[in-house]
Amino acid sequence: MEQAYKNPLRAGLISRKVAEPCTVVVFGATGDLTGRKLMPALFNLSRNGHLPQRFAIVGYARREKSDAEFRKEVAEALREFSRNKPESETEEKDFLSRVFYQQGNFDPAGDYGRLRERVEEIEKTDGLPGNRLFYLATAPEFFTTVTENLKNAGLVHAVAPDKPWSRVIIEKPFGTDLASARELNRHVQSAFDESQIYRIDHYLGKETTQNILAFRFANAIFEPLWSARYIEQVQITVSENLGMEGRRGQYYDTAGALRDMVQNHLFQVLCLIAMEAPASMDAESIRDEKVRLLRAIHPMTVEEVAANTVRGQYGAGSVNGRPVKAYREETAVDPQSVTETFVALRLFVRNWRWAGVPFLVRTGKRLPKKASEVAVIFKQPPHQIFAGSEFQDVRQNTLVIRIQPDEGIALSFEAKQPGLTMKLQNVKMDFRYGSSFGQPTPEAYERLLLDGLLGDATLFTRADEVERAWQIISAVLDSWKQLPPPPFPNYESGTWGPAEADRLVEGLPNGWRRI
């Protein structure tokens, strides 16, 4: 039989998403986030063909600076922080030629008028259609001011078919409690339509976090087991071995672990692990299910908070063999601070799928290692035939989703050891992103910036989702004000947090999972 004709030109075609010609305006352009994450992400998107031939990046900040000075800083950032370095001087110059700088304050309305003139001038010169993505990499107190002034200066296009689009990406934290989140939503929605607002959580841009959806809903073997009938508990851990590097203590001492990590990062992971299957993979279907899941987690009473939460603050100790100081001794931290650097919660999802299953969430600073993982721990078989002293080490099946480092998924189960006697041993099936696909994974900000440019809001949080998460967290914060604080510091740096956290896993086999 004659072989079917194949077009050799099609073999090299790669299916990739490419944004429309647009202008990206970054507020807080001289800050650490812009240099370390945003500019490298935009450069990598450009060199991999995800940005169009025509685009512009305008940095906006308060310092006096020329285009040439800003481009030099961007070039240095790319060489230091980008996962792909510019391969040639031509490639670097081509990218930098699309980078501009506009000096201005965040408050005065007049500076936004000058920004509009500069953006319109660049768009006219480069033949850009007027599509604009605004990125707020500023301190949270400027979110309201910037969005309102963008609207008042005429920089924001109204939503209309076949017209230029405007979108805004807002960094965390989005509020500090329920009241402030609602107020911020009100202000931002007065300047932008909800469909134009992209509240970012970089955890959702991580490959392993996104893979939770694929793992759960593209494979038939696990979904029938994904309920209280077979799962005993779920543990979600985000541990950090760092403390308050630089002057981060100035922000952290007003936030704490609960606000900084649980309300956003850990709740996002919890939603993906526990939500029901969406009707489709479109943004609204997924976000609907996440909100429905959060509504099934009831805000706790003072008594429930006392029973189901544990706070900690690190003292002096040693991490990786290096002595470190206590939190209260860190730069810009109140010497009498009662801010928590560790928090553990026991949460319950009150629906049919998860009734009675504890979701154990913990995060902390100055722990022994940096790691993020989800451990789904299954129940023991209903009738244990492998009983007796020779089977004492029979362990529960555990599915571990490693978010960082060594991204991957591992499933542990019991197997018979080779030999003439029936002895069991716990073994693993281990999938690792790095070895399985043989290619580097993109940075989270690359995926999220591209989705913002494409208008895909799947990995961004919606207003009602933010407010529901804060409703749960605010109940804890309000209860803590009525409860006596622990005797801080109450855990040594380099340990896994306060000993009191063990009471949250009382009655469960094996306690907290060792990472």
The 10s digit of each residue's pLDDT in 119-171 is: 999 999 999 999 999 999 998 999 999 999 999 999 999 999 889 999 999 99
Instruction: Please name the residue ranges forming H helices in 296-402.
Output: 302-308
With 0-12 CB in 10 A as exposed, 13-18 as middle and 19+ as buried, what is 106? buried
Distance (Å, rounded) from C-alpha 458 to C-alpha 239?
Answer: 26
Task: Give the per-residue pLDDT at 432.
Answer: 83
**Catalytic sites, residue numbers:** 265
Task: Give the per-residue pLDDT at 15.
Answer: 55
What kind of architecture, by CATH, is found in domain 22-171?
3-Layer(aba) Sandwich (3.40)
Average pLDDT over the chain, rounded to an integer: 90
Instruction: Output the six-digit token pair for 262.
Output: 């649980």
What kind of architecture, by CATH, is found in domain 204-381+464-505?
2-Layer Sandwich (3.30)
User: Average of pLDDT values for 410-435?
Assistant: 78
Domain spans in the chain, listed from the N-terminal domain onward: 22-171, 204-381+464-505
Across 274-302, b (16+ Cβ under 10 Å) vs e yields: bbeebeeeebeebbbbbbebbbbbebbee
With 0-12 CB in 10 A as exposed, 13-18 as middle and 19+ as buried, what is 306? middle
pLDDT tens column, 281-303: 888 999 999 999 999 999 999 99
For the cut 60, the answer to whether the pLDDT of residue 45 exceeds it is yes
Banded model confidence at residue 251, pLDDT cuts 50, 70, 90: confident
Which residue in the block uniquely carries the two structure tokens 């450069």? 43
Instruction: Output the six-digit token pair for 437.
Output: 């696909």
What residues have CB less than 8 Å from 155, skipping those under 6 apart?
Answer: 25, 112, 115, 116, 119, 132, 134, 166
pLDDT tens column, 439-471: 777 888 999 999 999 999 998 999 999 999 999
Confidence (pTM): 0.90
Task: Give the per-residue pLDDT at 7.
Answer: 44
Least confident of 11-20, 23-32, 49-58, 329-338: 11-20
User: Bridge-partner residues for 25, per DSSP?
Assistant: 58, 134
Task: Give the per-residue pLDDT at 8.
Answer: 43
Which residue in the block uniquely carries the two structure tokens 């949270």? 140
Banded model confidence at residue 424, pLDDT cuts 50, 70, 90: confident
Are 398 and 373 within 8 A, CB to CB? Answer: no
How many residues can be counted in the chain? Answer: 515
Distance (Å, rounded) from C-alpha 502 to C-alpha 283?
Answer: 38
Task: Give the per-residue pLDDT at 14.
Answer: 45
For the cut 90, the answer to whether the pLDDT of residue 417 exceeds it is no
Task: Give the per-residue pLDDT at 87.
Answer: 86
What residues have CB less than 8 Å from 514, skipping those under 6 apart?
Answer: none
For the cut 70, the answer to whether the pLDDT of residue 189 exceeds it is yes
Instruction: Please name the residue ranges forming H helices in 237-337.
Output: 249-257, 267-274, 283-295, 302-308
Percent of the chain with pLDDT over 70: 94
User: Average of pLDDT values for 349-369?
Assistant: 96
- C-alpha distances (whole Å) from 278 to each of 2, 266, 287, 292, 293 are 46, 20, 9, 11, 12
